[in-house]
A and B are shown apart, each in its own frame.
Chain A
Amino acid sequence: MNVLSQKEKQVSIIKIENIHKTYSEHQALKNVSLEIPKGSIFGLLGPNGAGKTTLIRIINQIIEADKGTILFDGITLNENHIRQIGYLPEERGLYKKMKVGEQLIYLGQLRGLSHKEALNSGKSWCEKLKIRDWWSKKIEDLSKGMAQKIQFISTVMHQPKLIILDEPFSGFDPVNANLIKDEILELREKGSTIIFSTHRMESVEQLCDYIAMINKSEKILDGSKQEVREQYRDGSYFVEYRLGEIQPAPDYEVLKTEEISRGLKKSLVKYNTYANPNELLRQLIDQVEIHSFIERIPSMNDIFIHLAKGENPETVAA
C-alpha cells in the first residue's frame, strides 16, 4: 500500500463540513465533517443503518443535506460535478431488456459523455474485462457475474475523478471481487479517488489509505489507516514461549494464555508503562524461553467494534 506524500494529503477532493440530515423522525446524519484526500482510497465504515448510504447519496446529489456544505475540488458541489463522479450503489441493477452496448452508452451519456465517447469507452472497457463478445447480448441473458462487470464499467467508463462504491463486494463472486480490487488500485494510480463504503472490515485492511467511521449518525473516527492504528495501540504484545509461566508483575499484566502446541504457549501481555518494549522483553526473558514477541496492532475490526459498542479492544482481541 503506498502511503501518500505529505503534499498530496493536503489537497482534498471532497470536503464535507457540518452536514445534518433528518428524515421525518429519524436523524440520519448529525454534524458530520470529513475530508477525502485526492488520490486516496477512502473507507467509509460503519454498521448497517449508521448513515453511510445517506452521506453517499448526499455526495451524489440524490438527496440534499438539511445543513452544511460540501466542496468538490474546492468548489461547492453542483450539477456539473455529476460528470466527475462514478457511483456504484449498494442496490444496483441494470435494464434487463436492454443490450449491454446500449446500456453502457445510455449510462455513459447520462454521466455527460457524448454518444461517441460512450461507445468508445464502453468498448475498450469491455475489451479490458474480456467481455467484448457480450456487447450485443441482452442483460437478461447474462449471468449475475457478467452483469456485475457491466455495472462496474458503467461506474468508471467516464473516467470520473471520484468513484464511489457502496458495499462493492457484497454479491460479487470472488473472481470478480479480485478483478474489481485490481481495477480499483489501477484507477487510483491513474489519479482517481475512491470512496468505498462497507461494514466488512477485512476489505478495508487491504485497500484503504484513509478511513472514517460513522456510527449512529455521527462520525466517530477518521484519519489515515496508520494514524488510526497508531492511536489504538495499547501496548499489548503476543509472546510465544516454552518452559515455565510468565509471572504477574506491577509493570505488566497477562491478559490471557493459551497452549498452541506441545509445550509452546502464547500469552497476550499488556505493558502498562508504555515504555520501550525492550524493558518488557528483558523482564520476560528471565522467566521463560521466548520464541516470538510481536506487538498486537488492533485490526480495523477491533477498533470498529470497540468504538461501535464502546467496548475495550482488549476484550475483543483474538
Chain B
Amino acid sequence: MNKIVLIIQREFMSRVKKKSFLLATILVPLIFPSIIGGMVYFKLQEEKNKKQEVVRVLNESDLISFKDSEDYKYLKVNGPLDSAKTLFNQSEDFALVYIPEISIDKPEGISFYAKTTPGVRLVERFEREFERQIRDIKLTRSGLTETQLDELKTEIQITSFNLSETGDEEKSDSNVVFGLGYVTGFLIYIFLFVYGAQVMQGVIEEKSSKIVEVIVSTVRPLHMMIGKVVGVASVGIVQFIIWIVLMGVIWTVVGAFLGIDAAQASGMSSEIQEVPTNDLLDVITGVNWLQVALLFLFYFLGGYLLYGALFAAVGSAVDTPADAQQFMMPIMLPIIIGLMGMFLFVFEEPNGAPSFWLSVIPFTSPIVMMGRIGFGVPAWEIALSMVLLVAGFFFTLWLAGRIYRIGILMHGTKVNYKILAKWLTMKN
C-alpha cells in the first residue's frame, strides 16, 4: 500500500513539475473563455451590422403579399421567370421568390432561388409566412373579420417545472439542462482521451527507458499500474480544480468590469434571449449544483479509471506510440459511441430506452449519464449506473492488469490480439 502511495506521488510530482502542466493549467481558463467571448462578440457585431437584404419577388398571384421587415426588403420584378432569373443573377440581391398564380386550396409551385444553398430556417420562415397569409384568407372567406383575426393571434411561452418526488417544484429550462449536459458530458469525453493518453504515454516511456523491471522487482505490476493510473487522475483533478477556481475568478473580474454587458452576452451565447434574466437566474439556481458537481467527479473518476487501466494495458503491450494505434480502436469506439449517443438520443429523448441503456452501461455511462443528469434521472437509475461503473472498472482493472504484468517485461515482440488473449490466460 505504501508503495502504491509512493508511485502515485512520483507520477503526480513528475507531471505537475512539467512546464507543459503549468502552461495548460494557466492557459486553458484564459483560452476557453476568450474563445467563447470572441464568438459572442462576433455574433453581437453581426447582429449590429446586419444590413437589410433585398429579396426579389415575382408575384403572379394576388393571394400573397410582402411587407418589408428589418431583415428583408422586397423588390417587385416582372416576368417571365426566365428573364427574372437572369436579371437576379446579374444583380447583387439576396434571393428571388417566384409565386405563380396559385389557387387558395392548392398553393403549389412557389419557388425560392438563391445564389447559395439557403439555410433550412430561412426557407421555413417563408413557408410559415405564406401559410399564415393563406390561412388568414381562408378564415376571412369563412366569415371572420380582421379584428377577430387579430384576436386569434396569441403568443404563449411555456414555463416547465421538474416535479420531484417530494412534490417540490423546480423551474427547469431545457436549454439550460441541455447546456449543462453538453458541457459536462463533453468534458468527460475530452478528459478520458487526454488523461488516458497520458497514462499510455507514461507506460510506454517506462518501458522504453527500461526502468520498469527494477520497479516490478519491488512492487506488484498491478500495484504499479494502479499507482500510475491514480497518479495521473490526481493530476487531472488538481488541474480541474485550478481551472474552476481560475475561471471563477476571471468570470467575476470580467463581469465586474463589463457589468450588464456580460450578463447579456451570456444570454446570447446560449440562445435563451427570450427568457427574462430573472427567470434564467431562477433556473440556474434551481439546478442542484452540488449534485451535478459530485456526480461529475464520480463519473469523471469512474470513467477515467475504467479507461485509464485499458490505456495502461495498451501502453504495456507495445514499444512505441505508433504500435499502439492498432489497439486504440476498441478503446476509442465506446467513448465515441457515448458521445454520439448523448447527441442522438439523450438530447432528443432523455428518458428513452437508448438513453437509459447507454447511461447504465459502464463504457458509455460516464458521458451519457452526465448528459442526462440535468433532465432529472430517477435515483435508482443513477444508483444502478454507479454500481455498474464501479464493477466495470474493477473488471477492466483486472483485465488490464493481466496484460500489463506480461506486457511490461516484453521487448521487441510484435504483439497482436491473439498474443494479448494468450497473455490474459497465462499464469503469473
Contact = CB atoms under 8 A, between A and B. Distances in A.
Interface string A94-121: 1111100000001101110000000000
B428 A63 contact: yes
B237 to A, nearest CB: 22
B218 A93 contact: no
B214 A107 contact: yes
Given A98-B14, A110-B218, A91 B213 contact: yes
Nearest to A154: B214
B217 A94 contact: no
Contacts of B10: 106
Interface residues of A, number: 28
Contact of A87 (B211, B217, B219): B217
A109 B14 contact: no
Interface size, B (range): 20 to 34
B217 A96 contact: no
A62 B216 contact: yes
A82 B217 contact: yes
Nearest to B7: A110
A24 B413 CA distance: 15
B427 A64 contact: yes
Contact of B209 (A63, A85, A93, A110): A93
A92 B426 contact: no
Interface in B151-205: 205
A61 interface: yes
Given A95-B211, A96-B209, A98-B14, A111 B218 contact: yes
Given A64-B427, A66-B427, A109-B6, A87 B209 contact: no
A60 interface: yes
A107 B206 CA distance: 14
B210 interface: yes
B215 interface: yes
A277 interface: no
Among A66, A106, A111, A154, the one with the most B-chain Cβ atoms within 10 Å of its Cβ is A106
B126 to A, nearest CB: 63
A91 B210 contact: yes
A95 B209 contact: yes
A110 B221 CA distance: 13
A23 B426 CA distance: 7
A143 B44 CA distance: 59
A98 B214 CA distance: 15
A89 interface: yes
A111 B218 CA distance: 6
B14 A95 contact: yes
Interface in A39-73: 57, 60-64, 66
A110 B428 contact: no
Contact of A92 (B18, B206, B210): B210
Interface in B51-68: none
A107 B210 CA distance: 14
A247 B33 CA distance: 101
A110 B3 contact: yes
A82 B218 contact: yes
Nearest to A82: B218
A85 B210 contact: no
Interface of B: 3, 6, 10, 14, 18, 205-206, 209-211, 213-219, 221, 409, 411, 422, 426-428
21 contacts: A23-B426, A24-B426, A57-B409, A60-B217, A62-B213, A62-B216, A62-B217, A62-B221, A63-B409, A66-B427, A82-B217, A87-B217, A89-B213, A89-B214, A92-B214, A94-B209, A94-B211, A96-B209, A98-B14, A110-B215, A154-B214
